[in-house]
Chain A
Amino acid sequence: MKENLYDKLVAYIVENQDRFYRLAFSCVKNQEDALDAVQNAVCKALAHYEDLRNEDAVKTWFYRIVLHESYAILNAKKRFIPADDTHYSEIPYEEKRYEIHDDLYAQISRMEPDTQNIIKLRFFEELELREISQVLNMNLNTVKTKLYRGLKALKIAIREEDCT
Protein backbone atom coordinates (compact mmCIF):
# COMPACT_ATOMS: atom_id res chain seq x y z
CA MET A 1 0.00 0.00 0.00
CA LYS A 2 2.76 2.44 1.03
CA GLU A 3 5.03 1.33 -1.82
CA ASN A 4 2.08 1.82 -4.08
CA LEU A 5 1.64 5.41 -2.91
CA TYR A 6 5.35 6.02 -3.42
CA ASP A 7 5.18 4.76 -7.01
CA LYS A 8 2.12 6.88 -7.68
CA LEU A 9 3.85 9.95 -6.34
CA VAL A 10 6.89 9.31 -8.56
CA ALA A 11 4.63 8.90 -11.59
CA TYR A 12 2.75 12.08 -10.72
CA ILE A 13 6.00 14.03 -10.40
CA VAL A 14 7.42 12.77 -13.69
CA GLU A 15 4.20 13.52 -15.51
CA ASN A 16 3.74 17.03 -14.13
CA GLN A 17 7.31 18.29 -13.74
CA ASP A 18 6.82 20.98 -16.40
CA ARG A 19 3.90 22.43 -14.48
CA PHE A 20 5.92 22.60 -11.28
CA TYR A 21 8.79 24.25 -13.10
CA ARG A 22 6.53 26.94 -14.58
CA LEU A 23 4.98 27.71 -11.24
CA ALA A 24 8.42 27.88 -9.59
CA PHE A 25 9.77 30.02 -12.45
CA SER A 26 6.87 32.45 -12.14
CA CYS A 27 7.85 32.92 -8.46
CA VAL A 28 11.65 33.04 -8.55
CA LYS A 29 11.89 34.45 -12.10
CA ASN A 30 15.06 32.75 -13.23
CA GLN A 31 15.95 29.33 -14.52
CA GLU A 32 18.60 28.29 -11.99
CA ASP A 33 16.45 29.04 -8.94
CA ALA A 34 13.38 27.47 -10.52
CA LEU A 35 15.33 24.26 -11.15
CA ASP A 36 16.59 24.29 -7.57
CA ALA A 37 13.08 24.84 -6.21
CA VAL A 38 11.65 21.92 -8.16
CA GLN A 39 14.56 19.68 -7.23
CA ASN A 40 14.20 20.50 -3.52
CA ALA A 41 10.46 19.96 -3.72
CA VAL A 42 10.88 16.51 -5.30
CA CYS A 43 13.46 15.58 -2.65
CA LYS A 44 11.20 16.62 0.23
CA ALA A 45 8.06 15.10 -1.21
CA LEU A 46 9.70 11.71 -1.73
CA ALA A 47 11.29 11.76 1.72
CA HIS A 48 7.90 12.50 3.25
CA TYR A 49 5.46 10.61 1.12
CA GLU A 50 4.43 8.62 4.20
CA ASP A 51 2.86 11.76 5.65
CA LEU A 52 0.55 11.92 2.69
CA ARG A 53 -2.26 9.81 4.07
CA ASN A 54 -4.80 10.76 1.48
CA GLU A 55 -3.87 9.82 -2.05
CA ASP A 56 -6.31 12.30 -3.57
CA ALA A 57 -4.45 15.14 -1.93
CA VAL A 58 -1.26 14.54 -3.98
CA LYS A 59 -1.92 17.47 -6.29
CA THR A 60 -2.50 20.17 -3.67
CA TRP A 61 0.19 18.72 -1.43
CA PHE A 62 2.82 18.90 -4.14
CA TYR A 63 1.91 22.41 -5.32
CA ARG A 64 2.18 23.48 -1.71
CA ILE A 65 5.70 22.08 -1.45
CA VAL A 66 6.78 23.69 -4.76
CA LEU A 67 5.57 27.10 -3.61
CA HIS A 68 7.18 26.61 -0.21
CA GLU A 69 10.54 25.77 -1.76
CA SER A 70 10.29 28.67 -4.23
CA TYR A 71 9.68 31.14 -1.45
CA ALA A 72 12.43 29.59 0.64
CA ILE A 73 14.85 30.42 -2.20
CA LEU A 74 13.45 33.94 -2.59
CA ASN A 75 13.73 34.55 1.14
CA ALA A 76 17.31 33.29 1.24
CA LYS A 77 18.17 35.73 -1.55
CA LYS A 78 16.48 38.63 0.20
CA ARG A 79 19.11 38.42 2.91
CA PHE A 80 21.71 39.68 0.44
CA ILE A 81 19.73 42.81 -0.44
CA PRO A 82 21.19 45.87 1.35
CA ALA A 83 19.34 46.90 4.48
CA ASP A 84 17.89 50.14 3.07
CA ASP A 85 16.14 48.22 0.31
CA THR A 86 13.71 46.38 2.50
CA HIS A 87 10.56 47.03 0.50
CA TYR A 88 9.02 44.27 -1.48
CA SER A 89 11.20 44.17 -4.58
CA GLU A 90 9.73 46.70 -7.02
CA ILE A 91 11.92 45.64 -9.92
CA PRO A 92 11.69 41.88 -10.17
CA TYR A 93 14.81 40.27 -11.54
CA GLU A 94 13.99 38.75 -14.90
CA GLU A 95 16.01 36.16 -16.72
CA LYS A 96 17.46 37.85 -19.81
CA ARG A 97 16.88 34.89 -22.07
CA TYR A 98 13.18 34.79 -21.50
CA GLU A 99 10.65 37.45 -20.69
CA ILE A 100 6.96 37.26 -21.12
CA HIS A 101 5.98 40.35 -23.07
CA ASP A 102 2.51 40.57 -21.86
CA ASP A 103 1.02 43.47 -19.98
CA LEU A 104 -1.47 41.43 -18.05
CA TYR A 105 1.16 38.92 -16.99
CA ALA A 106 3.45 41.74 -15.89
CA GLN A 107 0.59 43.27 -13.93
CA ILE A 108 -0.09 39.98 -12.20
CA SER A 109 3.59 39.58 -11.27
CA ARG A 110 3.49 42.93 -9.52
CA MET A 111 0.61 41.96 -7.27
CA GLU A 112 0.87 40.87 -3.69
CA PRO A 113 2.20 37.25 -3.57
CA ASP A 114 -0.99 35.59 -2.31
CA THR A 115 -3.14 37.19 -4.99
CA GLN A 116 -0.54 36.31 -7.64
CA ASN A 117 -0.58 32.69 -6.58
CA ILE A 118 -4.35 32.50 -6.43
CA ILE A 119 -4.66 33.90 -9.96
CA LYS A 120 -1.92 31.62 -11.30
CA LEU A 121 -3.36 28.51 -9.69
CA ARG A 122 -6.90 29.38 -10.71
CA PHE A 123 -6.39 30.39 -14.32
CA PHE A 124 -3.06 28.87 -15.38
CA GLU A 125 -3.10 25.64 -13.41
CA GLU A 126 -6.90 25.44 -13.40
CA LEU A 127 -7.27 24.45 -9.79
CA GLU A 128 -10.56 24.74 -7.96
CA LEU A 129 -10.80 27.39 -5.28
CA ARG A 130 -11.18 24.69 -2.65
CA GLU A 131 -7.89 23.17 -3.84
CA ILE A 132 -6.21 26.58 -3.83
CA SER A 133 -7.25 27.13 -0.24
CA GLN A 134 -5.49 23.84 0.60
CA VAL A 135 -2.36 24.71 -1.37
CA LEU A 136 -2.02 28.11 0.27
CA ASN A 137 -3.19 27.10 3.76
CA MET A 138 -5.82 29.74 3.53
CA ASN A 139 -9.45 30.02 4.40
CA LEU A 140 -11.69 29.48 1.36
CA ASN A 141 -13.45 32.81 1.85
CA THR A 142 -10.12 34.63 2.01
CA VAL A 143 -9.15 33.02 -1.29
CA LYS A 144 -12.44 34.16 -2.84
CA THR A 145 -12.05 37.71 -1.56
CA LYS A 146 -8.45 38.00 -2.72
CA LEU A 147 -9.28 36.61 -6.15
CA TYR A 148 -12.24 38.94 -6.52
CA ARG A 149 -10.22 41.99 -5.52
CA GLY A 150 -7.30 40.94 -7.69
CA LEU A 151 -9.42 40.52 -10.79
CA LYS A 152 -11.11 43.82 -10.09
CA ALA A 153 -7.73 45.52 -9.84
CA LEU A 154 -6.76 43.98 -13.16
CA LYS A 155 -10.01 45.33 -14.60
CA ILE A 156 -11.05 41.89 -15.73
CA ALA A 157 -14.70 41.18 -16.14
CA ILE A 158 -15.55 38.82 -13.34
CA ARG A 159 -17.64 35.84 -14.19
CA GLU A 160 -19.63 34.24 -11.46
CA GLU A 161 -18.14 30.78 -12.05
CA ASP A 162 -14.54 31.97 -11.63
CA CYS A 163 -15.08 33.11 -8.09
CA THR A 164 -17.16 30.35 -6.65
Chain B
Amino acid sequence: MKEMEDTKKSYENIPIPAELSKRVQLEIEKANANQKRKAIHIQRRRILMKKTAIAATAAVVLLTTGLNTSQTFAQELGGIPVVGSIARVLTFRSYETDKTDIKTSVDIPTIEMISTELDGLEKGVNKEIYAFCEQYAEEAQARAEEYRQAFLETGGTEEEWAAHDIKIKVWYDVKAFTGDYLSIAVMGTDSWSNASADAKYYTFDAKAGKWLTLSDVLDGDLKSAEENIRSQIVQKEKETGMNFWDEDWGGLTEDAKFYVNAAGNPVIVFAPYEIAPGAAGQQEFEIIK
Protein backbone atom coordinates (compact mmCIF):
# COMPACT_ATOMS: atom_id res chain seq x y z
CA MET B 1 0.00 0.00 0.00
CA LYS B 2 3.02 2.26 0.41
CA GLU B 3 3.32 2.29 -3.39
CA MET B 4 -0.27 3.41 -3.75
CA GLU B 5 0.33 6.28 -1.36
CA ASP B 6 3.36 7.43 -3.37
CA THR B 7 1.29 7.22 -6.51
CA LYS B 8 -1.39 9.29 -4.86
CA LYS B 9 1.24 11.93 -4.22
CA SER B 10 2.25 12.06 -7.86
CA TYR B 11 -1.44 12.26 -8.79
CA GLU B 12 -1.84 15.18 -6.43
CA ASN B 13 1.19 16.79 -8.03
CA ILE B 14 -0.55 17.12 -11.38
CA PRO B 15 0.02 20.85 -11.90
CA ILE B 16 -3.07 23.03 -11.84
CA PRO B 17 -2.97 25.63 -14.63
CA ALA B 18 -3.74 29.20 -13.59
CA GLU B 19 -6.37 29.26 -16.30
CA LEU B 20 -8.52 26.74 -14.43
CA SER B 21 -9.95 29.15 -11.89
CA LYS B 22 -10.59 31.70 -14.66
CA ARG B 23 -12.51 29.21 -16.75
CA VAL B 24 -14.51 27.99 -13.75
CA GLN B 25 -15.26 31.58 -12.76
CA LEU B 26 -16.43 32.36 -16.31
CA GLU B 27 -18.97 29.52 -16.18
CA ILE B 28 -20.19 30.60 -12.76
CA GLU B 29 -20.72 34.16 -13.97
CA LYS B 30 -22.59 32.90 -17.03
CA ALA B 31 -24.78 30.74 -14.81
CA ASN B 32 -25.37 33.59 -12.36
CA ALA B 33 -26.58 35.79 -15.21
CA ASN B 34 -28.91 33.01 -16.34
CA GLN B 35 -30.21 32.61 -12.80
CA LYS B 36 -31.22 36.25 -12.71
CA ARG B 37 -32.86 36.06 -16.10
CA LYS B 38 -34.72 32.91 -15.07
CA ALA B 39 -36.06 34.57 -11.94
CA ILE B 40 -37.50 37.40 -14.03
CA HIS B 41 -38.99 34.97 -16.52
CA ILE B 42 -40.60 32.85 -13.87
CA GLN B 43 -42.27 35.97 -12.55
CA ARG B 44 -43.46 36.93 -16.02
CA ARG B 45 -44.65 33.41 -16.70
CA ARG B 46 -46.66 33.36 -13.50
CA ILE B 47 -48.48 36.52 -14.47
CA LEU B 48 -49.19 35.14 -17.94
CA MET B 49 -50.43 31.85 -16.50
CA LYS B 50 -52.75 33.59 -14.12
CA LYS B 51 -54.30 35.55 -16.97
CA THR B 52 -54.65 32.38 -19.04
CA ALA B 53 -56.28 30.54 -16.18
CA ILE B 54 -58.86 33.26 -15.76
CA ALA B 55 -59.65 33.24 -19.49
CA ALA B 56 -59.94 29.44 -19.53
CA THR B 57 -62.23 29.39 -16.51
CA ALA B 58 -64.43 32.02 -18.12
CA ALA B 59 -64.76 29.93 -21.27
CA VAL B 60 -65.59 26.76 -19.33
CA VAL B 61 -68.21 28.58 -17.31
CA LEU B 62 -69.87 29.79 -20.52
CA LEU B 63 -69.84 26.30 -21.97
CA THR B 64 -71.25 24.59 -18.90
CA THR B 65 -73.96 27.22 -18.53
CA GLY B 66 -74.88 26.50 -22.13
CA LEU B 67 -75.08 22.77 -21.43
CA ASN B 68 -77.27 23.17 -18.37
CA THR B 69 -79.73 25.61 -19.87
CA SER B 70 -80.16 24.56 -23.45
CA GLN B 71 -81.08 21.04 -24.49
CA THR B 72 -80.38 21.64 -28.15
CA PHE B 73 -77.00 23.15 -27.41
CA ALA B 74 -75.97 19.99 -25.54
CA GLN B 75 -77.14 17.78 -28.35
CA GLU B 76 -75.28 19.77 -30.91
CA LEU B 77 -72.10 19.50 -28.87
CA GLY B 78 -72.65 15.78 -28.33
CA GLY B 79 -72.89 15.28 -32.08
CA ILE B 80 -69.33 16.43 -32.78
CA PRO B 81 -66.98 14.47 -30.51
CA VAL B 82 -64.11 14.02 -32.98
CA VAL B 83 -61.10 16.20 -32.52
CA GLY B 84 -60.46 15.82 -36.24
CA SER B 85 -63.52 17.89 -36.96
CA ILE B 86 -63.38 20.30 -34.06
CA ALA B 87 -59.75 21.33 -33.97
CA ARG B 88 -56.64 21.49 -36.09
CA VAL B 89 -52.99 22.30 -35.58
CA LEU B 90 -51.35 24.78 -37.90
CA THR B 91 -47.91 26.29 -38.14
CA PHE B 92 -48.57 29.81 -37.07
CA ARG B 93 -45.13 31.22 -37.72
CA SER B 94 -42.00 29.69 -39.18
CA TYR B 95 -38.63 31.38 -39.65
CA GLU B 96 -34.92 30.78 -39.84
CA THR B 97 -32.09 33.08 -38.92
CA ASP B 98 -28.30 32.85 -39.12
CA LYS B 99 -26.47 35.44 -37.09
CA THR B 100 -22.78 35.19 -36.16
CA ASP B 101 -22.87 31.51 -37.17
CA ILE B 102 -25.69 30.76 -34.76
CA LYS B 103 -28.43 29.13 -36.81
CA THR B 104 -31.96 29.26 -35.51
CA SER B 105 -35.06 27.61 -36.93
CA VAL B 106 -38.42 28.17 -35.31
CA ASP B 107 -41.81 26.62 -36.08
CA ILE B 108 -44.54 27.94 -33.83
CA PRO B 109 -47.76 25.94 -33.86
CA THR B 110 -51.21 27.22 -33.18
CA ILE B 111 -54.39 25.32 -32.38
CA GLU B 112 -57.61 26.26 -34.08
CA MET B 113 -60.98 25.16 -32.81
CA ILE B 114 -63.27 24.56 -35.75
CA SER B 115 -66.29 24.03 -33.60
CA THR B 116 -67.71 27.40 -32.60
CA GLU B 117 -68.83 25.99 -29.22
CA LEU B 118 -65.24 25.43 -28.23
CA ASP B 119 -64.05 28.65 -29.75
CA GLY B 120 -61.89 30.56 -27.30
CA LEU B 121 -60.64 27.54 -25.34
CA GLU B 122 -57.48 27.49 -27.44
CA LYS B 123 -56.58 31.15 -26.96
CA GLY B 124 -54.73 30.88 -23.66
CA VAL B 125 -52.79 27.83 -24.75
CA ASN B 126 -51.84 29.43 -28.05
CA LYS B 127 -50.57 32.45 -26.22
CA GLU B 128 -48.49 30.26 -23.91
CA ILE B 129 -47.09 28.27 -26.81
CA TYR B 130 -46.16 31.43 -28.66
CA ALA B 131 -44.48 32.94 -25.61
CA PHE B 132 -42.59 29.69 -24.94
CA CYS B 133 -41.26 29.43 -28.50
CA GLU B 134 -40.17 33.05 -28.73
CA GLN B 135 -38.65 32.99 -25.29
CA TYR B 136 -36.76 29.77 -25.88
CA ALA B 137 -35.31 31.02 -29.18
CA GLU B 138 -34.35 34.32 -27.59
CA GLU B 139 -32.71 32.73 -24.55
CA ALA B 140 -30.91 30.08 -26.57
CA GLN B 141 -29.54 32.77 -28.88
CA ALA B 142 -28.37 34.85 -25.91
CA ARG B 143 -26.69 31.77 -24.40
CA ALA B 144 -24.97 30.93 -27.68
CA GLU B 145 -23.89 34.55 -28.09
CA GLU B 146 -22.36 34.52 -24.60
CA TYR B 147 -20.64 31.27 -25.44
CA ARG B 148 -19.30 32.89 -28.63
CA GLN B 149 -18.01 35.92 -26.74
CA ALA B 150 -16.31 33.71 -24.16
CA PHE B 151 -14.87 31.55 -26.93
CA LEU B 152 -13.40 34.53 -28.79
CA GLU B 153 -12.12 36.14 -25.61
CA THR B 154 -10.24 33.00 -24.63
CA GLY B 155 -8.36 32.96 -27.93
CA GLY B 156 -10.75 31.22 -30.33
CA THR B 157 -10.97 32.49 -33.91
CA GLU B 158 -14.09 33.27 -35.96
CA GLU B 159 -13.34 30.29 -38.22
CA GLU B 160 -13.11 27.94 -35.26
CA TRP B 161 -16.35 29.36 -33.96
CA ALA B 162 -18.11 28.76 -37.28
CA ALA B 163 -16.94 25.14 -37.10
CA HIS B 164 -18.97 24.72 -33.90
CA ASP B 165 -22.02 24.84 -36.16
CA ILE B 166 -24.41 25.97 -33.44
CA LYS B 167 -28.03 25.17 -34.23
CA ILE B 168 -31.08 26.21 -32.25
CA LYS B 169 -34.36 24.55 -33.03
CA VAL B 170 -37.88 25.19 -31.80
CA TRP B 171 -40.53 22.88 -33.20
CA TYR B 172 -43.61 20.86 -32.39
CA ASP B 173 -44.86 17.34 -32.67
CA VAL B 174 -48.48 16.21 -32.61
CA LYS B 175 -48.45 13.18 -30.31
CA ALA B 176 -52.07 12.17 -30.66
CA PHE B 177 -54.84 13.36 -32.93
CA THR B 178 -57.60 10.87 -32.31
CA GLY B 179 -61.32 11.09 -31.89
CA ASP B 180 -60.83 11.71 -28.18
CA TYR B 181 -57.60 13.61 -27.75
CA LEU B 182 -55.39 16.20 -29.28
CA SER B 183 -51.95 16.03 -27.68
CA ILE B 184 -49.12 18.27 -28.75
CA ALA B 185 -45.48 18.72 -27.69
CA VAL B 186 -43.65 22.01 -28.25
CA MET B 187 -39.91 21.68 -27.93
CA GLY B 188 -36.74 23.72 -27.93
CA THR B 189 -33.17 22.40 -28.19
CA ASP B 190 -29.74 23.69 -29.06
CA SER B 191 -26.95 21.62 -30.54
CA TRP B 192 -24.21 22.44 -28.04
CA SER B 193 -25.67 21.79 -24.63
CA ASN B 194 -28.21 19.01 -24.29
CA ALA B 195 -28.58 20.46 -20.81
CA SER B 196 -30.78 23.29 -22.04
CA ALA B 197 -33.52 21.38 -23.85
CA ASP B 198 -37.00 22.41 -22.81
CA ALA B 199 -40.50 21.31 -23.77
CA LYS B 200 -44.17 21.95 -23.07
CA TYR B 201 -47.05 19.55 -23.52
CA TYR B 202 -50.76 20.19 -24.01
CA THR B 203 -53.57 17.68 -24.20
CA PHE B 204 -57.12 18.57 -25.14
CA ASP B 205 -60.01 16.25 -24.39
CA ALA B 206 -62.61 16.58 -27.13
CA LYS B 207 -65.37 14.83 -25.20
CA ALA B 208 -64.94 16.85 -22.05
CA GLY B 209 -64.11 19.96 -24.05
CA LYS B 210 -61.17 20.91 -21.85
CA TRP B 211 -57.40 20.93 -21.44
CA LEU B 212 -56.30 18.03 -19.29
CA THR B 213 -54.13 18.03 -16.20
CA LEU B 214 -52.06 15.05 -15.09
CA SER B 215 -54.71 14.16 -12.50
CA ASP B 216 -57.36 14.14 -15.24
CA VAL B 217 -55.51 11.61 -17.38
CA LEU B 218 -54.60 9.42 -14.41
CA ASP B 219 -58.10 9.60 -12.93
CA GLY B 220 -56.59 11.28 -9.89
CA ASP B 221 -54.40 8.30 -9.07
CA LEU B 222 -50.84 9.67 -9.15
CA LYS B 223 -49.72 7.13 -6.57
CA SER B 224 -50.15 4.00 -8.68
CA ALA B 225 -48.73 5.78 -11.74
CA GLU B 226 -45.65 6.57 -9.68
CA GLU B 227 -45.33 2.93 -8.62
CA ASN B 228 -45.74 1.95 -12.25
CA ILE B 229 -42.90 4.32 -13.27
CA ARG B 230 -40.65 3.02 -10.51
CA SER B 231 -41.10 -0.55 -11.66
CA GLN B 232 -40.46 0.52 -15.27
CA ILE B 233 -37.24 2.18 -14.10
CA VAL B 234 -36.07 -1.13 -12.61
CA GLN B 235 -36.80 -2.75 -15.98
CA LYS B 236 -34.99 0.00 -17.93
CA GLU B 237 -31.98 -0.24 -15.63
CA LYS B 238 -31.77 -3.93 -16.42
CA GLU B 239 -32.06 -3.33 -20.16
CA THR B 240 -29.64 -0.42 -20.44
CA GLY B 241 -27.24 -1.27 -17.62
CA MET B 242 -27.49 2.37 -16.53
CA ASN B 243 -28.26 3.43 -13.03
CA PHE B 244 -31.29 5.75 -12.91
CA TRP B 245 -31.49 8.41 -10.25
CA ASP B 246 -34.84 7.25 -8.92
CA GLU B 247 -33.63 7.37 -5.32
CA ASP B 248 -33.26 11.15 -5.73
CA TRP B 249 -36.62 11.50 -7.48
CA GLY B 250 -39.19 13.30 -5.36
CA GLY B 251 -42.06 11.32 -6.87
CA LEU B 252 -44.81 12.06 -9.37
CA THR B 253 -46.41 15.46 -8.94
CA GLU B 254 -49.13 17.38 -10.71
CA ASP B 255 -46.61 19.50 -12.64
CA ALA B 256 -44.89 16.51 -14.29
CA LYS B 257 -44.78 16.67 -18.10
CA PHE B 258 -47.03 14.31 -20.00
CA TYR B 259 -48.81 13.70 -23.26
CA VAL B 260 -51.39 11.21 -24.48
CA ASN B 261 -50.22 8.80 -27.19
CA ALA B 262 -52.14 7.43 -30.18
CA ALA B 263 -53.37 4.51 -28.06
CA GLY B 264 -54.94 6.99 -25.64
CA ASN B 265 -52.49 6.19 -22.85
CA PRO B 266 -50.79 8.89 -20.81
CA VAL B 267 -47.01 9.09 -21.22
CA ILE B 268 -44.92 10.80 -18.52
CA VAL B 269 -41.82 12.57 -19.83
CA PHE B 270 -38.54 13.33 -18.04
CA ALA B 271 -35.98 15.70 -19.55
CA PRO B 272 -32.36 14.53 -19.94
CA TYR B 273 -30.53 14.59 -16.58
CA GLU B 274 -33.85 14.74 -14.72
CA ILE B 275 -34.01 11.10 -13.70
CA ALA B 276 -31.20 9.40 -15.59
CA PRO B 277 -27.67 10.20 -16.81
CA GLY B 278 -27.66 12.71 -19.68
CA ALA B 279 -26.36 9.99 -21.99
CA ALA B 280 -29.64 8.13 -21.57
CA GLY B 281 -31.48 11.14 -23.04
CA GLN B 282 -35.12 11.96 -22.50
CA GLN B 283 -37.08 9.29 -20.66
CA GLU B 284 -40.70 8.39 -21.34
CA PHE B 285 -42.99 6.15 -19.34
CA GLU B 286 -46.27 4.99 -20.79
CA ILE B 287 -48.96 4.28 -18.22
CA ILE B 288 -51.09 1.57 -19.79
CA LYS B 289 -54.62 1.84 -18.53
Contacts and interface: CB of A to CB of B under 8 A. Distances in A.
* Minimum-distance CB pairs A-B, first 8: A46-B31, A137-B243, A42-B27, A47-B195, A104-B7, A100-B10, A39-B23, A124-B11
A25 B273 contact: no
Give chain A's interface residue range (CB within 8 Å of chain B).
35 or more
B166 to A, nearest CB: 14
A98 B14 contact: yes
Nearest to A105: B7
A13 interface: yes
A159 B15 CA distance: 30
Give chain B's interface residue range (CB within 8 Å of chain A).
35 or more
Q: Which of B17, B27, B195 has the most CB of A within 10 A?
A: B27
Interface string B22-51: 011011101100110000000000000000
Contacts of B17: 21, 31, 35
Nearest to A98: B15
A108 B10 CA distance: 13
A157 interface: yes
Given A22-B14, A46-B28, A137-B242, A52 B248 contact: yes
A22 B12 contact: yes
Contacts of A149: none
A51 interface: yes
A104 B3 contact: yes
B6 interface: yes
Given A22-B12, A47-B193, A124-B8, A13 B248 contact: no
Contact of A38 (B7, B24, B250, B277): B24
A153 interface: no
Contacts of A52: 248
A43 B30 contact: yes
Contacts of A137: 242-243, 277
B159 interface: no
Contact of B243 (A3, A25, A138): A138
Interface string A27-58: 00001000100110011101110011110010
